[in-house]
Amino acid sequence: MLLTIIAILGVAFILYTVLGGADYGAGIVETFAGKRGEKTISKALAPVWEANHVWLILAIVILFTGFPRVYATISTALHIPLMVVLIGIVLRGSFFTFRHYDIGEVGTHPYYTTIFKVSSFVTPFFLGITLGAMILGRVSLDATGTFYEQYIGPWLNGFCVAMGIFSTLLFGYIASIFLIGETVHSPERHRYIRFSKLFMVLTFGVGILVFVIAEFENHPVFAAFFSSWPSLVAFGGVVLLIPVVLYLINHPWVVYLRLAIGLQVALIMVGWFAIQYPVLVFERSGNHLTFYNTQAPEATLFQLLIALFVGLLLVVPCFFFLFKVFKPATDEHRVK
């Protein structure tokens, strides 16, 4: 039962990273694409942008109900970066909607666009910082420490900042790939192909930098990585998919291209999950929070599992129906 809940939690995080990453990344890519990309990006995001958050809500519900000590620790010790994430999600969604339905007669359109772009950078950056703080091992609920030691030091450091940059670049990479299939004209398609290649190189480079900085922060990630065969296999899969993605972006097989990038991102997350399983939060005291020492009582987990199955039976068909209704509407205009 516990393993089933862990599997659902992992799938929810992967789906949010892939679909939500494409969502956040579109705002990042638009910063470089300029006015020319606004129409394509707005058209691609408008029908589905809000639905992607269902996977984040699902993950939060699982943590809150199934692993309450983990939820309490994260939401207390890391409340500052999490608050920035929440503000970013609200501002980004609100100002995207304002811009999309703006009639453009009172001069507010540029302000909507600016806030949409800024929050598209800030939100994934602080999501990465929060994840980095959970990994680095400086989180503590020890009330004897100073405010800085307890609430700022765990996430304001080189490793967490590198994780924030990595997350931002990864989301930009996912969005660039997804937007290739949303283009109308050939020059626009080639622009997103260039963005995809640039974000791929930068993501790969910063990913290596994350490992190096972790060593300087006394968190031996290299040793954990090379001692975990699932992580090595996942990394091998990520590398093997690079030429596949580079081949597909120059061909009109949009579905296969999106499946390839989705698989690549899933392998990155599986590889990292395997490094630190079963730990969810590394604590400064050494009493790390794992799936097994923080799980709720059996009766609670059983009720949670029932709720998850019932909820997924409702959500998954609705999610597919949403994409089926809205996304094919743009297919006839795409570049072949």
**What pLDDT digit, counting tens, does each position of 256-268 carry?**
988 999 999 999 9
pTM of the model: 0.89
pLDDT for 130: 94
pLDDT for 333: 47
For the record, the structure tokens of 148 come out as 């800085």
The residue whose two tokens read 């923080």 is 294
Angstrom distance (rounded) from CA 253 to CA 258 = 9
Half-sphere exposure of 163 (CA within 13 A, CB side): 21
Nearest C-alpha neighbor of 268 from the set 213, 210, 220: 210
In contact, 239 and 207? CB cutoff 8 Å: no
Residues 6 or more apart from 89 whose CB is under 8 A from it? 53, 119, 123
Is 311 or 185 the better-scoring residue by pLDDT? 311
Residue 254 has pLDDT above 70, yes or no: yes
Nearest C-alpha neighbor of 315 from the set 47, 62, 18, 51: 51
Angstrom distance (rounded) from CA 123 to CA 168 = 9
> Residue 207: what residue type?
G
Residue 217 has pLDDT above 50, yes or no: yes
Element (H, E) at 58: helix 53-66
The residue whose two tokens read 């998850």 is 308
Q: What's the whole-number average pLDDT of the chain?
A: 86
pLDDT for 35: 74
> Residue 103: what residue type?
I
The CATH number for 1-316, chosen from 1.20.1630.10, 3.10.20.30, 1.10.4030.10, 3.20.20.120, is 1.20.1630.10
Nearest C-alpha neighbor of 74 from the set 155, 149, 15: 155
Sign, Cα dihedral of 219, 293, 275, 152: negative
